[in-house]
Amino acid sequence: MARAATTADAFNAVAEPRRREILDALALRERPVNELVDLLGLAQPHVSRHLRVLREVGAVDVRDEGRHRVYRLNPQALKPIHDWVASYQHLWEERFDLLEDVLEDLKEQEN
Amino acid sequence: MAQASSSTMDVTFPSDEEILITRTLNAPRHLVYRAWTTPELVKKWWPGRRGEMTVAEMDFRVGGAWRYVMVAHGEFEVAFHGTYREIVPNERIVNTEVMETPDASPDSEEGAVVNTVTFEEADGGATLVSIRTDAGSKEVRDMIAQSGMEGGVREQFEIIEELAASLA
């Protein structure tokens, strides 16, 4: 049985630049595979491989529409990454803002 | 001389193992360095707006240990410690950093990341601060990513910002 996808797997999945291009394209709307092939200018097997990685971590969902397989973004799977990056960034933004206050005090003391 | 930008912070991921934060501060370099290396000043900014810093111990010399403890939102303690590896006054500090867990020995550095902080003079008397965190391996990076502390795999931040709009 396949092991459950973890947050780290999702990090790895979006670490690949081509897969980020796919996610960017799907962020706008769902698209069939052939459209992604055209957009990325990659051979179909490469695109399919990237899509399989994204599907395995739950970043995209797929449905059949006639002869086409249509992919769409599943933002929920990427939420842990977003939350982490946002939280880490916000902590450092808070630190720098407070640091600016400390530095204002130090500058006044020097003058 | 580093380029002075507006006081916005950048987060980038130079490699699978690293995260890089940069920010320009409107103060001369020696003051930024002082704020970074003086315990009573560190206490004023390091916890962000998330709590009170109760311990700021700094044996500030190469090979010396440091330990920071904060009480987050008045509820739980979060503690970090590490060792100074390199100190170039007003320019550069390299140190290890590990978050303390209840089941690890207090001075263990297992799973420590390496932080390199550099201070560069920028235009207009400002200072560019860069914090490069190296998790050292994919395993450590993944462990930290899973604990919600570190990621280090994204080269760019933009797609996440775009996606944020569509997140519930």
Containing A63, the helix (H) or strand (E) segment is strand A60-65
φ, ψ of residue A66 to 5 degrees: the values are: 60, -125
Chain B 74-113, CB below 8 Å of chain A: which residues? none
Pick the CATH number of A7-110 from 1.10.150.20, 2.40.50.140, 1.10.10.10, 1.10.8.50: 1.10.10.10
Max Cα–Cα distance, chain B, nearest Å: 48
Q: What is the mean pLDDT of residues B40-62?
A: 92
**Residue B154, pLDDT score:** 33
B interface mutation test: which of A102, A107, A111 has the most B CBs within 10 A?
A: A102
**Residue B34, pLDDT score:** 94
Closest chain B residue to A80 measured between Cα atoms?
Answer: B148
Residue B163 in contact with partner chain A when CB distance is under 8 A: yes
By the 10 Å C-beta count (0-12 exposed, 13-18 middle, 19+ buried), B101 is classed as exposed
Contact yes or no for B45 and A95 at CB 8 A: yes
Model-level pTM? 0.64
For residue B56, pLDDT beyond 90: yes
The domain spans of chain B are: 9-164
Q: State the architecture of B9-164 in CATH terms.
A: 2-Layer Sandwich (3.30)
Residues B131-155: tens digit of each pLDDT: 998 877 655 555 454 443 333 323 2
The closest of B82, B85, B50 to B68, measured between CA atoms, is: B82
Amino acid identity at A102: V
Q: What is the ipTM of this complex?
A: 0.75
Q: Please tell me which residue, B24 or A75, carries the higher pLDDT value.
A: B24
Rounded CA-CA distance B27/B10 in Å is: 18
Residue B34 in contact with partner chain A when CB distance is under 8 A: yes
**Residue B139, pLDDT score:** 57
What is the average pLDDT score of chain B? 78
For residue A24, pLDDT beyond 90: no
